[in-house]
Amino acid sequence: MNDTITRIPGVLVGHDTLPTAMTGCTVVLTPDGATAGVDVRGAAPGTRETDLLRPENLVQQVHGIVLAGGSAFGLAAATGVMQWLAERGHGFDVGVARVPIVPAAVLFDLAVGDAHAWPDAAAGTRACSAASSQPVAMGRVGAGTGATVAKLYGPQGARPGGVGSAVAELPGGGLVGALVVVNALGEIFDPLSGRVLVSSRGDVSPGNWPLPGQNTTLGVIATDIPLTKAQCLRVAQMAHDGLARAIRPAHTLYDGDSLFVLSTARTTGADANAVGVLAAEVVAQAIVQAVTQAAF
């Protein structure tokens, strides 16, 4: 059984991995469109097209989300995703053309591999070509290739982060899934047992303090339950509880945590509150999957 976000009909995921440079990008595609929202909670974010997702703004649906390494340079991957979608006739109809709506968020991995190599438009295109409804590849792939965690005592004690995904069924019908790229300052805990999965290493000294802007956990939550843009925002806000359950500490001044929510509206059976409660659970599960798979 597919226990990842692509179990939700209409949601495709693809990775492009640059193993030598230790970076990459991950795309979550909804070519037929999905209502979307975002909650950018970290103090050091790198994003594109997030203002468009505010509930009062015009465009209601997006056609893909890009998560990428490469810090701000990695936002270029979204251009390739737009081109790929446009060539296939997907996008917001403006009369003379269809403009794909592709928000993006990036994480800092420049210190892990090649600081002069990052995901570009070609990487975004390759990720789209690889996208499918098959179970999501997890661990050190795509945007999670150069991701690290547990940097409380400085980057020299970092442990591997990565991509994780999980999905769960709502009691009244419908699905909620999450894909998370974990590049966090904090340690990783199993929220069910309370056990530390990845702990920090090193000593606290003036030269070992964390560096700002180098830690970001990014995620996409998807559901087939119909949601408005305002409800997507609320679900994204609730889903951040999942970060706090599995990452300690979370949402620090050194993190750029951002969570997107997509609603494909393929079924009915639950309200936004139920979706938000389950979203926090699958986000926490996806974080555990990310570091567990990255360890192999």
Convert the pLDDT of each residue in 154-193 to its tens digit: 777 789 999 999 999 999 899 999 999 999 988 999 998 9
The two tokens of residue 81 are 């995703």
Convert the pLDDT of each residue in 239-280 to its tens digit: 999 999 999 988 888 788 999 999 999 998 788 999 999 999
At residue 200, the 3 state secondary structure works out as: coil
pLDDT the model gives residue 42: 75
- Residue 209 confidence class, pLDDT cut points 50, 70, 90: low
Spatial distance between the Cα atoms of 215 and 108, rounded to a whole number of angstroms: 6
Per-domain residue ranges for the chain?
Answer: 5-294
Spatial distance between the Cα atoms of 44 and 212, rounded to a whole number of angstroms: 7
Beta-bridge mates of residue 260: 38, 220
- Mean pLDDT value of segment 126-149: 97
- Residue 45 confidence class, pLDDT cut points 50, 70, 90: confident
| CATH code, residues 5-294 | 3.60.70.12
- Residue 92 confidence class, pLDDT cut points 50, 70, 90: very high
The structure's pTM equals 0.95
| pLDDT above 70: residue 296 | no
| pLDDT above 90: residue 201 | no
Let me know: does 249 contact 290? Beta carbons within 8 Å. no
Let me know: does 65 contact 10? Beta carbons within 8 Å. no
Spatial distance between the Cα atoms of 87 and 100, rounded to a whole number of angstroms: 10
Q: Give whole-number Cα distances, 192 to 189, 246, 281, 285, 288, in Å.
A: 9, 9, 10, 9, 10
Spatial distance between the Cα atoms of 248 and 284, rounded to a whole number of angstroms: 12
How do strand 104-106 and strand 61-68 relate by DSSP bridges? parallel
User: Which distant-in-sequence residues (6+ apart) come within 8 Å of 62 by Cβ?
Assistant: 30, 33, 34, 36, 49, 53, 101, 102, 103, 262
